[in-house]
Amino acid sequence: MPILAALTKTTAATAPLAKRVAPSTVIKARSLASAIEKPVSAHYCYPVATGSQTAHLQLRSGETFTGGSFGAPVSTVGETVFTTSLVGYPESMTDPSYRGQLLVFTQPLVGNYGVPGRARDAFGLLRHFESEKIQCRGIVVGDYATKYSHWNAVESLSQWCEREGVPAITGVDTRALVHILRGQGSTLGSLNVGQTATTPEAIEWVDPNADNLVAQASTDSVRVFNPDGDVHIALIDCGAKYNIIRSLCEQGARVSLVPWNHNIVGELGSFDGIFISNGPGSPTHCTETIEQLRQAYAVYQRPIFGICMGNQLMGLAAGMNAYKLRFGNRGHNQPAVDLTTGRCVITSQNHGYALDDSRMPTSWDRFYVNANDGSNEGIRHLEKPFRSVQFHPEAKGGPLDTSHLFAEFIDQVRAMKAAGVPIIADSSIGGVAKQSASATA
Amino acid sequence: KVQGPVEFPGAEAAQARRKQREEWERELAADDSDKSGRIVNGRRIRKVLVLGSGGLSIGQAGEFDYSGSQAIKALKEEGIYTVLINPNIATIQTSKGLADKCYFLPVTPDCVRKVILHERPDGIYCTFGGQTALNIGVKLRDEFEGLGVQVLGTPIETIMVTEDRELFAAAMAEINEKCAKSHAASSIDEAVVAANDIGYPLIIRAAYALGGLGSGFASNEEELVALCRKAFAASPQVLVERSMKGWKEIEYEVVRDSVDNCITVCNMENFDPLGIHTGDSIVVAPSQTLSDEDYQMLRTTAVNVIRHLGVVGECNIQYALNPHSREYSIIEVNARLSRSSALASKATGYPLAFVAAKLGLGIPLNEIRNSVTRETTACFEPSLDYVVVKIPRWDLKKFDRVSKNLSSAMKSVGEVMAIGRTFEETMQEAIRSVDTSFDGFSRNSYVAETKEAIEEELTKPTDLRVFAIANAFHMGYTVEEIHLLTAIDRWFLCKLRGLVETERQLQAFAADQRIPRDLLCYAKQQGFSDAGIAHFTKRNEMQVRNTRTGYGIRPFVKQIDTVAAEFPAHTNYLYITYNASEHDVEFVDNGVMVLGSGVYRIGSSVEFDWCAVRAIRTLRENQFKTIMVNYNPETVSTDYDEADRLYFSNITLERIMDIYEAESSAGVIISMGGQAPNNIALALHRNKVKIFGTSPENIDGAENRYKFSRMLDQIGVDQPQWRELTQYEDAETFCDEVGYPVLVRPSYVLSGAAMNVVSTSTDLKTYLNQAATMSRDYPVVIT
């Protein structure tokens, strides 16, 4: 495996070399380090287009990438992650799942179609974005297009980033960067704008994953969308993308967006269905949500559905374990096989953790499996209408192959409501509701 | 780590399939004991007939040699006996060791029927031989059943629907998809009704009228009525169609298997807007000016359409997309491998033809492995972390009285593909690949720098449009002005505009001034060649190269792995870029380089691909490590599984030297690629590159008319009186001396290109001015 060998060599050689690069040489070195003559350098340089400021991307593991700055001229620290998607930067950047992260685009040409305006749809949601603001802390691209061209664009990517105070760097060999990230998993990075690269020691490394990112991304209070809907869905907001809300509303549901730690168990009786959204960071911060779900499983008889983070929370609540994937699944091209039909669908994904489905809890089965690495892509309950998927059926960006899951969910909710299936199993209504009510009181 | 397809015991459908297969096994067990081959639709397939495309023609070239060869490889892997019909001896697919049996017979219904009767195959593929093979399928469709042959892959009925405009429109209406609407009207009132149904702007065509007489555009009813009056004077009927002039042309390559898994492998955007045949357009992959919403809208449509049509294998769908809204219209579906699929296959690294052949055997997509990564499934959509540009090559100069204007009929004879990490870099490399005399996107003499000439070329494109754009920028035209004239998206034009600035900066340096490192580096990243930079700064290529290597500016080698580095891959498919900071691969092989044929031209075609592939195979059989260099996507030599390393790169002195040095190659074989590598032989030799086979000095002895004729004199072989000349005046004097007619021959040309018989002095002057530029480097010999 020559690539892996080369990779380990790179990372091993990097730390001491990085220190040797004096800040003064960094400014002038608008060059390409030639790997034919010199050993692989830890300093990746790039000439900067005239007129733009120099920017540096420094990884905690020691590598430095030099390029040109665009967007806001500020510095930031975040977890460096990548996406292999070909299109969809406005959607990805406003996706709350990328909160606290420096987002690397493997497609080198970014910014081509500008940024669309802030039009809102009938439900009051931004039509072209997945949340109100840019969620990632910074972006890293190969070749930023200073001039954009699209009928729907109102400003350039740089103007948008600048307005929202998000820094960006262009002129980075993103493929070399992905080689490093792929090998070492979660890597903190520092994006600083200015003439000199600082030494790794001088950077104040703050791991965004130490915070509860879900709590930051979640809504503070209950918000109701499409109040005239005929079925009432509780959408637990771990950092929900707007298109999840929209997809449910478009199916005719009344959606109550509730905070991640909302006492849902106390109100179970008023919901015809429960939906758990995607969200940033590690699922282990959401013990409160997991506990709520565990209690709901015991008594709730109507459909529950989870997406991404929701899948992990539902699995953890069912008694499964989560682990960190060797290579995370990030892109719009991930194949997932539906185990109930054998069909393979192409999905949009962005996750570094997965459920361990080697042993399933009683009454639970695998729902979807990744056709590339065999990792879990979804689980389902064998008797109750509880299902979840690891990928993003709401897409934005990504393929729309699985958007039917929303229709199926709402159809099921509607059918069970029409059939008069009691929301809560009779035997335990009092017990759980009272218990949790007293717990919160 | 997962090896091979993932087994899913819980999948009900997969289980049902397995059960069905077992049932077939039981049923078939009675009449045979031989368990080889595969069972498709209840019949055991052991022997398969593959139809080739026959002789090459304009619009149908090497891509079908590539797709047929891939299909045969795939079938052999499944243990199936393959029979091929193809009369074209210059192809890889007909060479020994590929198909089990090959018939050099014309691909006609009679011959195919005879071969079927003689060979009694169980199945037949009609989708790997272009339109020729497809037509056989349509003609013989009723006979196949009686002959005991099953059509594998896409059913003939599906092909017929996609070929017939009316059937196709009806099929699209069934799933509420939009085709370009067209109505026939025989009176002005009818035309107005039709117009209101379709919506303005419209194009009005007079039926049965020659050369577009009475056609025109109408953007309101008034204009429509005026146009109709004129049209009805010439013709009894007019066709009212939605005008999509200036719309973007977008293509998707779609793969579907027999259990309805469906993916899009690649999408491509045409640089030239609608109006020029996609085979004659400059194409960029992946699309560059589409947002996620646009991209997914067209992708979902593609999947729905292909599922509805029931294609099994590979196909291509083309759209027109309104540049000012989300409105789109389906132009056509090609339910077979095409030149676009060959391009998509090379652009993404996804072996489309190979996979399509396997799908024809009823194997589901997710059970086929991605042979590039070897660790992932074929049921995925490649992610590109580079950009690809395709430019067609026309040889219109070789034909007399042929209109050079490009339109809806394909005129190109071949195409080139370039890979890079910025659009500028890739576009320039592609332009240079089309012909060695092109410097890239720079000021040129191909289009005169006058308002009339430029605007004529921009509005009525010929093969020189891209050069007209370059000159227009140099004359001071703005992006907006050129956009209005050509309707090419502003994004592409803005990128190209940047190159003009760099060229001007370079021109500021006189021959004795050193080019600063930053500028040189920036120019290289924008894709300017050493030769181009030398030209702008009035020095020679080697001086620029020495300055560049002195600065330590060298290109980097990157891999194409289909997954944008998300997973480790073992790919040997490489390209070269200056927009990088490290190599993807290590150089330890010291392999032998084989230079390919480059772009197909009239006079240089698949035969040189055959030579290069045979050379590579022979070297590998003899345990030599091999490096293939070529830039033609329609070839077998650019298949990732032929050589140990495949460089998808231009064949120029600069690139070959770069690869030779980076790889520390053992030596270069230039004799397999025809004229293209021959042209740089002497230059390589002078730069101390080890060349295997005939010494470049001896090649020069044969190619250089002067040296050749001098040698004939020396060894006493008779020949007509001759002289080598570099000046027109000398030529005229010589001609007067020996008397007309004379034969004029430039050196280093392909199959007599630019060679001509001249019978008067006026002709001589015109000829030497137009066809052959005399120069000190390349003199002309007159006999």
Tens digit of pLDDT for each residue in A324-336? 887 778 899 999 9
Taking contacts as CB-CB distances below 8 angstroms, the residues of chain A near B307 are none
ipTM reported for the complex, 2 dp: 0.86
pLDDT at position B750 is 57
A308 catalytic residue (yes or no): yes
Element spanning B742, H or E:
strand B742-746
Alpha carbon B306 to chain centroid, angstroms: 24
How far apart (Å, rounded) are the C-alpha atoms in residues A387 and A310? 10
For residue A250, give the CATH number of its domain.
Answer: 3.40.50.880
Taking contacts as CB-CB distances below 8 angstroms, the residues of chain A near B517 are 30-31
Nearest residue on chain A to B2, judged by CA atoms? A373
What's the Cα-to-Cα distance from A147 to each of A109, A187, A255, rounded to whole Å?
A: 12, 32, 40
Greatest CA separation found in chain B?
A: 90
Is B10 within 8 Å of A366 when comparing Cβ atoms?
A: yes
Residue of B2, B256, B269, B292 best to disrupt the A interface, most CBs of A under 10 A: B292
> What is the token pair recorded at A191?
């994006």
- What is the per-residue burial (b if ≥16 Cβ within 10 Å, else e) of A378-409? bbbbeebbbbbbbbbbbbbbbbbbbbebbeeb
> What is the token pair recorded at B224?
């429509």
pLDDT at position A42 is 47
Nearest residue on chain B to A82, judged by CA atoms? B566
Considering the domain architecture, whether residues A155 and A57 belong to the same structural domain is answered as yes
pLDDT tier, A33 (very low <50, low <70, confident <90, very high otherwise):
very low
Tens digit of pLDDT for each residue in A133-144? 999 999 999 999
pLDDT at position A400 is 92
Q: Is a pLDDT exceeding 80 seen at residue A93?
A: yes
User: Are B637 and B616 in contact, with CB atoms under 8 Å apart?
Assistant: yes
Which residue from A241, A76, A56, A53 is spatially nearest to A165, judged by alpha carbons?
A76
How far apart (Å, rounded) are the C-alpha atoms in residues B532 and B502? 12
Nearest residue on chain A to B381, judged by CA atoms? A333
How far apart (Å, rounded) are the C-alpha atoms in residues B182 and B162? 17
> What is the token pair recorded at A159?
């103007």
User: How many domains are there within chain A?
Assistant: 2
pLDDT tier, A441 (very low <50, low <70, confident <90, very high otherwise):
very low
Residue A187 in any domain: the answer is yes
Provide φ and ψ at B314, rounded to 5°. Answer: -115, 145
What's the Cα-to-Cα distance from B152 to each of A5, A98, B40, B175, B401, rounded to whole Å?
A: 43, 46, 8, 26, 43
A344 catalytic residue (yes or no): no
User: Are B689 and B668 in contact, with CB atoms under 8 Å apart?
Assistant: yes
pLDDT at position B778 is 66
How far apart (Å, rounded) are the C-alpha atoms in residues B27 and B42? 9
pLDDT tier, A426 (very low <50, low <70, confident <90, very high otherwise):
low
A and B: number of Cβ contacts within 8 A: 260
Question: Where in the sequence is the domain holding A337, given as residue range(s)?
Answer: 213-440
* Nearest residue, CB atoms, B568 vs list A1, A113, A176: A1
DSSP category for residue A114? -
Considering the domain architecture, whether residues A184 and A260 belong to the same structural domain is answered as no
Which residue from B460, B461, B408 is spatially nearest to B276, judged by alpha carbons?
B408
User: Are B603 and B622 in contact, with CB atoms under 8 Å apart?
Assistant: no
Which amino acid type is present at position A291? E
Considering the domain architecture, whether residues A376 and A322 belong to the same structural domain is answered as yes
> What is the token pair recorded at A334?
């991930």
Residue of B250, B254, B293 best to disrupt the A interface, most CBs of A under 10 A: B293
DSSP secondary structure string, A214-245?
Answer: HHHHS-SS-EEESTT-SEEEEEEESS--HHHH
DSSP secondary structure string, B606-636?
Answer: HHHHHHHHHHHHHHHHTT--EEEEE--TT-S
Which residue from A51, A45, A11 is spatially nearest to A26, judged by alpha carbons?
A45
Nearest residue on chain B to A36, judged by CA atoms? B662
Residue A186 in any domain: the answer is yes
B576 forms beta bridges with B557
Tens digit of pLDDT for each residue in B525-565? 999 999 999 999 999 999 999 999 999 999 999 999 888 88
User: Are A335 and A372 in contact, with CB atoms under 8 Å apart?
Assistant: yes
Decide the pairing of beta strands B47-51 and B123-125.
parallel
pLDDT at position B208 is 61
Residue A33 in any domain: the answer is no
For residue A114, give the CATH number of its domain.
Answer: 3.50.30.20
Residue A136 in any domain: the answer is yes
Considering the domain architecture, whether residues A282 and A371 belong to the same structural domain is answered as yes
pLDDT at position B4 is 42
What's the Cα-to-Cα distance from B256 to each of A402, B310, B315, B462, rounded to whole Å?
A: 17, 8, 9, 37
> What is the token pair recorded at B433?
């690949």
- What is the per-residue burial (b if ≥16 Cβ within 10 Å, else e) of B578-609? bbbbbbbbebebebbbbbbbbbbbbebbbebb
Considering the domain architecture, whether residues A189 and A79 belong to the same structural domain is answered as yes
Element spanning B548, H or E:
helix B541-550
Torsion of CA B61, B63, B64, B67, to 10 degrees: 170
A291 catalytic residue (yes or no): no
Which phi-psi region, left, alpha or beta, contains residue B257 (left: φ > 0; alpha: ψ -120 to 50)? beta
User: Are B621 and B604 in contact, with CB atoms under 8 Å apart?
Assistant: no
Least confident of A24-38, A110-124, A128-142, A329-343: A24-38
Residue A372 in any domain: the answer is yes
Considering the domain architecture, whether residues A200 and A231 belong to the same structural domain is answered as no
Q: Between helices B490-507 and B517-525, what is the axis angle to 10°?
A: 150
* Nearest residue, CB atoms, A182 vs list B8, B490, B565: B565
Considering the domain architecture, whether residues A284 and A349 belong to the same structural domain is answered as yes
Considering the domain architecture, whether residues A230 and A369 belong to the same structural domain is answered as yes
Taking contacts as CB-CB distances below 8 angstroms, the residues of chain A near B558 are 175
Residue A72 in any domain: the answer is yes
Catalytic residue among A128, A162, A308, A377: A308
Element spanning B429, H or E:
helix B423-434
Which residue, of A154, A180, A208, is where some domain finishes? A208
How far apart (Å, rounded) are the C-alpha atoms in residues A335 and A343? 10
Considering the domain architecture, whether residues A107 and A243 belong to the same structural domain is answered as no
Residue of A128, A169, A175, A182 best to disrupt the B interface, most CBs of B under 10 A: A175
- What is the per-residue burial (b if ≥16 Cβ within 10 Å, else e) of B677-709? bbbbbbbbbeeebebbeeebeebbeebbbebbb
Average pLDDT, chain A: 84
pLDDT at position A205 is 87
How far apart (Å, rounded) are the C-alpha atoms in residues A405 and A394? 9
Nearest residue on chain A to B368, judged by CA atoms? A371
How far apart (Å, rounded) are the C-alpha atoms in residues B735 and A376? 82
How far apart (Å, rounded) are the C-alpha atoms in residues A411 and A414? 5
Is B10 within 8 Å of A33 when comparing Cβ atoms?
A: no
> What is the token pair recorded at B286?
């992946």
Considering the domain architecture, whether residues A159 and A265 belong to the same structural domain is answered as no
Residue A169 in any domain: the answer is yes
Which residue, of A169, A193, A208, is where some domain finishes? A208
Taking contacts as CB-CB distances below 8 angstroms, the residues of chain A near B552 are 31-32, 34, 37
Provide the shortest C-alpha distance from residue B107 to chain A (in Å).
Answer: 37
Is A372 within 8 Å of B375 when comparing Cβ atoms?
A: yes
Residue A167 in any domain: the answer is yes
Sites in chain B below the pLDDT cut of 70: 1-18, 28-35, 207-215, 373, 407-409, 747-754, 769-778
Which residue, of A186, A208, A230, is where some domain finishes? A208
Considering the domain architecture, whether residues A257 and A193 belong to the same structural domain is answered as no
Considering the domain architecture, whether residues A83 and A176 belong to the same structural domain is answered as yes
Question: Omega before B741 cis (within 30°)?
Answer: yes
Kindly report the pTM of this predicted structure: 0.87
Provide the shortest C-alpha distance from residue B387 to chain A (in Å).
Answer: 8
Residues in CB range of B395: below 8 A, 6 or more apart: B413, B601, B602
pLDDT at position B104 is 93
